Amino acid sequence: MKSFALLLAIATLLALPATAQIVYENGPINGNTDAWVINFGFIVADSFTISTGSTTVTGMSFGAWLEPGDTLQSAEVQITSEPFGGTIYFQGQVPFTQSGCVVNQYDYDICTETGSFKGPTLNNGMYWLDLQNAIDSAGEPVYWDENDGVGCHSPGCPSEATENFESIPSEAFSMLGTTSSSGGSVPEPDSLMLFASAVLGCGALLRRKFF
């Protein structure tokens, strides 16, 4: 499992744009635990904390579970003051670039998904990242990796998380951006791994596939 985690870490670092800096990260992807569907009417929200002063969000990365050969094309991203609501700071269907896919023990492709967008400028505090309406090439479920925030480094981590208003363990993701407090970009943490874990299911409520 160590080699699997190492491959995911390297893939994630290579996937980040040269100008992207991490302003919040919720720890490495686990790859063997669970994941939560972000299409077919399901929405997952994770909290994140801004602690670097006035910060402009410019993108995000997250770990996705996909059917073999499938490709995530886009997903609806919201940044809000409350899970699924409150003040909406950003909302849009964001294209994602997929990279570094590795097959896990359940024969799912575990991939880094990185998207850039013109996000809001946020002051210090806690916010929510909502993902839903994922569009993929095969019309299959798209899953957001669950990692419980284990190994996270950012102030305020691990994230709180909810799926359709039910409390769940938090997911693997990073928020990217720049801050004016240091006159430039936020330094990137020494270790970042995004990716890997679980799933959800088919059937009436398409939620989990593995337990």
For 136-168, the pLDDT digits (tens) are: 999 999 999 999 999 999 999 999 999 988 999
Res. 19 pLDDT band, cuts 50 70 90: low
Tokens 């925030």, located at residue: 149
* pLDDT over threshold 50, residue 201: no
Domain with 177, as residue range(s), is 2-185
Is residue 202 in a domain? no
Is residue 205 in a domain? no
Residue 193's closest CA among 67, 100, 74, 77? 100
- Sheet holding 44-50: strands in order across? 85-95, 72-82, 125-136, 44-50, 161-163, 166-167
Instruction: Please state, in angstroms and as integers, the Cα–Cα distance from residue 56 to each residue in 91, 92, 127, following that order.
Output: 15, 16, 13
Span 21-50, average pLDDT: 95
Q: What is the DSSP letter of 201?
A: -
Q: What percent of the chain has pLDDT over 90?
A: 71
Is residue 63 in a domain? yes
pLDDT at 120: 98
* pLDDT over threshold 50, residue 72: yes
Q: Per the structure, how many domains does the chain have?
A: 1
Is residue 198 in a domain? no
Instruction: Please state, in angstroms and as integers, the Cα–Cα distance from residue 164 to each residue in 7, 47, 81, following that order.
Output: 32, 14, 16
Span 115-126, average pLDDT: 97
Q: What is the DSSP letter of 31?
A: S
Strand, helix or coil at 57? Answer: strand
**What is the Cα 98 distance to its own chain's centre?**
13
pLDDT at 181: 54
> CA 78, 83, 84, 88 torsion: positive or negative?
negative
pLDDT at 58: 97
Q: Whole-angstrom Cα distance, residue 9 to residue 52?
A: 24
Say which range, 17-31, 57-71, 104-118, has the weakest mean pLDDT: 17-31
Is residue 191 in a domain? no
Q: Whole-angstrom Cα distance, residue 64 to residue 66?
A: 6
Q: What is the DSSP letter of 200?
A: B
Is residue 206 in a domain? no
